[in-house]
Chains A and B, each alone.
Chain A
């Protein structure tokens, strides 16, 4: 299997001073669902826009399907599709018009465009509202119109920048199935999300990007094994949270304290908690815990 996207030592600055990407190197394999994770301002959208040939790298190279994003932009453009972050369809046009005419603009013959528009509007649960102007649709429905537009194309590589933002839990799982389906059909999907459950559920591999640097890349299991703690213990009701520090990193979540710790640490802490009458909850660490440890570092470039 070849590489769908390959970036090598990718640097980007918008203003010539502040570096938004700082040597990002990563490879997305053909046919996989790849999740790009990172805090607000980490550089996910910037990365995607460069890979989509919409933005120029300042330094380094990016290849999509083996071709350079600068030299072969035209070739690449025909083979990829994007759902931009926070885009929305025109309020005065319908979901059908968006999907169908977009496919025509991409060069699809009419009959095939009509067939695929129906198929993907149905898949995105928009069939009933296909002729309603988008201004009369809900926010989540509008979001799905864009995903339907991108997915209905013949593109081999799909870039979805936060595609499930604002979707209800049922629509979200529908979207997840569609993303998996695309991958089963051999397409590559690069998705960004702040929803760790989503990343765990749909992706073959993930990358965590922090302040323009790729911190870790691998399957969810691999990323989690980069963290030395296997367990997390949520404790509530103790007098002095200081003593929790002995077990591992502690984070406050509302009234609770979350401790990341080893198996023996978890056992010990649970016993102490039971003895002292604290409420306690022990579970395996999730991708979210790993994310907070790995991406939680200072986001220097944020809010500039």
Chain B
């Protein structure tokens, strides 16, 4: 009973934060959703122009991932802005659910900006790459949701160290690059020449979801065991960041 009540309240708090920080601002500036789409689009254009057909699906999966990453890591400057400039975080600490539903709402708000890009890339994946199995899309959704959650938490975690939002302006593009373009997100893990480096790639929280999506699209083949391990790895990534973040947020300084 208490649990159900708490859950209802949690959902309502998330909804409030999403509306206030996501939906209403998005209506003011829908163009926000364009910029994270541009780099992966350019990439796609190159491949098409040069006629490199067989790697277009990689570019589509990588593109989807990088759109989610770009729109999730912004959590870092959003949260810092709310804390340091608006000081509205102090007000949201004083709510029943505290900062967690507030943060989930912020992150969901950012996801709104990612939606148009996701739809475009999703449609291309369906038509160009012929990914039309329901289970494939379930894997996509799960993998992208995990990416969103983990990268948003990383963003929030970084934001808690900032003393001015200018501290942070540099990080969003860096993290987008480091999470989207360096690890095997736009290319298969097999292309990494050294074994040690392959393992190292798993440090990035985007490696596992990208590999799962590449497998779901039939680009690489993985065993059930590997699939299970990849999902477990995501769980581990998420748990580590959650614990770090939770410890940071619990601090009254």
Contact = CB atoms under 8 A, between A and B. Distances in A.
9 contacts: A49-B90, A77-B95, A87-B87, A92-B24, A92-B28, A101-B20, A104-B12, A106-B94, A150-B91
Interface stretch (B48-56, B96-104, B195-203): B96-104
Contacts of B9: 107
B242 to A, nearest CB: 19
A232 B30 CA distance: 61
B13 A104 contact: yes
Contact of A92 (B29, B98, B253): B29
Interface in B223-253: 251-253
A84 B90 contact: yes
Between B13, B93, B252, B253, the greatest number of chain A beta carbons within 10 A of the residue's beta carbon is seen for B252
SS class of chain A's interface: helix, strand, loop or mixed?
loop
Contacts of A54: 90, 93, 252
B15 interface: yes
A105 B21 contact: no
B86 interface: yes
B87 A93 contact: no
A85 B20 CA distance: 21
B16 A105 contact: yes
A203 B17 CA distance: 34
Interface string A138-177: 0000000010011000010000000000000000000000
B128 interface: no
Contacts of A208: none
A186 to B, nearest CB: 19
B24 A107 contact: no
Contacts of A93: 20-21, 24-25
Contacts of A86: 87
Contacts of A250: none
Interface of B: 9, 12-13, 15-17, 19-21, 24-25, 28-29, 82, 85-88, 90-98, 101-102, 251-253
Given A93-B25, A101-B20, A73 B252 contact: yes
Given A93-B24, A105-B13, A81 B253 contact: no
Interface string A80-120: 11111111111011100110011011110000000000000
A56 B251 CA distance: 8
Contacts of B86: 87-90
A86 B12 CA distance: 28
B90 A105 contact: no
The winner among B12, B20, B88 for most chain A CB atoms within 10 A is B20
A212 to B, nearest CB: 17
A87 B88 contact: yes
A3 interface: no
B252 to A, nearest CB: 5
Contact of B16 (A80, A94, A101): A101
Given A54-B252, A56-B252, A90-B86, A104 B16 contact: yes
A105 B25 contact: no
B21 A90 contact: yes
A299 interface: no
A101 to B, nearest CB: 4
B15 A81 contact: no
A65 to B, nearest CB: 13
A77 B15 CA distance: 20
Interface of A: 14, 49, 52-56, 73-74, 77-78, 80-90, 92-94, 97-98, 101-102, 104-107, 133, 146, 149-150, 155
Contacts of A81: 91, 94
Contacts of A49: 90
Contacts of B19: 97, 101
A104 B13 CA distance: 6
A82 B94 contact: yes
Contact of B87 (A14, A55, A84): A84
Contacts of B96: 77-78, 106-107
Given A54-B90, A55-B252, A55-B253, A105 B95 contact: yes
Pairs A-B, 4 closest by C-beta atoms = A87-B87, A92-B25, A84-B87, A101-B16
A86 B251 CA distance: 22
A133 to B, nearest CB: 6
Interface centre among A49, A93, A98 (most CB of B within 10 A): A93
A77 B94 contact: yes
A90 B88 CA distance: 9
A150 B92 CA distance: 11
Contacts of A80: 94
Contacts of B12: 104-105, 107
A149 B87 CA distance: 13
A102 B16 contact: yes
B70 to A, nearest CB: 19
Nearest to A106: B95
Interface centre among A81, A82, A94, A101 (most CB of B within 10 A): A101
A82 B91 contact: yes
B91 A90 contact: no
Contacts of A106: 94-96
A274 B150 CA distance: 78
